Structure 1
Amino acid sequence: MASTIVSERLTLRPWRLDDVDAAFAIYGRPDVARWLSPAMDTVSDRDAMRLVLQQWIAEDHRGSPPTGRWAVELTAERRVVGGVILLYLPPGGEDLEIGWQLEPGAWGRGYAAEAGHATAHWALQQAGVDELFAVVRPANARAAATAERIGMEWVGETDKYYDLRLQVYRLRTGDLDRPLPGRTYGADRHSR
């Protein structure tokens, strides 16, 4: 089961079935899901979202760190505004991907970078991972900028994953303490 990760403003915790409405507000949005295909399509309704959450929860229970899926919750409001993943990329499951999605109303506030950095910090320091990758479609400037705010470095383009031409960003353990330009969020407090 995924650990709970806490940062300055966010609590990243395992998904629950009672998150269905919040999850649908994220993954039911075509402007969010268009960047996730073919790994995930837009979720059509709340019943479909409930099935997806059931699948994620079951996978999370069967999996072992560092993989997992987390709901991104605003700690002060106890409101879910997004999701973060650490999953092995196809084909072969050799490279560990970090990914993030937020409801559009939460865009532009630094939550994706904060959640991504907290998750990366946990994976690289607590779970013993050596490196993480983010794969970004070339037209997704918002995701590329977030990867850079997390501290990831662009390493090139590839069509290795999902049979798509993707930009690849990497973060290694030694990159964690490097000063990040434009960082507007606090350091990770702790993880449980």
Structure 2
Amino acid sequence: MTEQLVTDRLLLRPWHVDDAGAALEVYGDGQVSRWLSPAMDQVGDLAAMRLLIQHWIAEDARMIPPAARWAVQRKEDGRLIGGAVLLPLPPRGDDLEVGWQLHREVWGHGYATEATQAIARWAFTQEVDEIFAVVRPSNTRAAATVRRTGMEWVGETDKYYDLRLQVFRLRPADILPPSTS
């Protein structure tokens, strides 16, 4: 079961099927989906989004913590603004990848950094000694975001997803202190 995480501005919580409408605004947006994992395509309609969320909920029940998927909800107005993950990276699942997908309207407000830091802090309490982010070389926004979380550049590889990706790593000593804003 996904652990609920709370930050100053966000609630990271388990997905619910009734999140489908708001989730479709994120995962159905071509500007968001172009950066999704190669294992996931743009979601085409509400029925497909519901099925995908049902799959995520079932998958979550089988995952071994700290692997999880979260719906990202803004605390001030309760709006679902996206999703975040901490999942084993293919092909062997030895490494954990942190990732996020947010509604385009909230890009540039620090929510991805805030969610990533919350996930990392929690993961490090679960006997995880490092997490990774993999970024397509042309996704400069994501690369900047992971750097803001304190992640360090590791290099490029085609080990994951059979794509050339930039790899960033975060260890407990690298985590930035919680914001006091």
**TM-score normalised according to structure 2 size:** 0.96
Corresponding position of 1:170: 169
Q: Unaligned 5+ residue runs, structure 2? A: none
CA shift digits 1:62-101 (9 cap, x unpaired): 1121001001100121111011000000001101000011
For residues 109 and 37 of structure 2, the distance between their equivalents in structure 1, rounded to whole angstroms, comes to 25
Counterpart in the other structure of 1:161: 160
Counterparts of 1:98-117 in structure 2 under 5 Å?
98-117=98-117
Give the Cα–Cα distance (whole angstroms) in 2 for the partners of residues 187 and 28 of structure 1.
34
Counterpart in 2 of 1:186? Answer: 179
TM-score norm. by structure 1 comes to: 0.91
Cα contact 1:7–1:187 (8 A) shared by 2: no
Partner-residue secondary structure (3-state), 2:138:
coil
Cα drift, residue 37 of structure 1: 4.1
- The Cα of 1:174 is off from its aligned counterpart by 1.2
User: Which amino acid in structure 1 is aligned with residue 39 of structure 2?
Assistant: A
- Do the aligned residues in 1 keep the contact of 2:13 with 2:71 (CA within 8 Å)? yes
1:17-166 → structure 2 map (5 Å cutoff) = 17-124=17-124, 126-166=125-165
Structure 2 counterpart of 1:182: none
Q: For structure 1, list consecutive stretches of 5 or more residues without a partner in the other structure.
A: 180-184
Q: 2:156, 2:165 within 8 Å by CA — same for their partners in 1?
A: yes
Whichever residue aligns with residue 122 of structure 2, its letter is W
Q: Counterparts of 1:42 and 1:90 in 2: how far apart (Å)? A: 20
How far the C-alpha of 1:165 sits from its partner, in A, is 0.3
Q: Distance in 1 between matches of 2:93 and 2:107?
A: 30
- Structure with the greater relative contact order (CA < 8 A, sep ≥ 6): 1 or 2? 1
Q: Which portions of structure 1, spanning 4 or more consecutive aligned residues, are displaced by more than 2 angstroms? A: 185-188
Match of 1:4 in 2: 4
- Work out whether residues 83 and 101 of structure 2, in 8 Å CA contact, stay in contact via their aligned partners in 1: yes
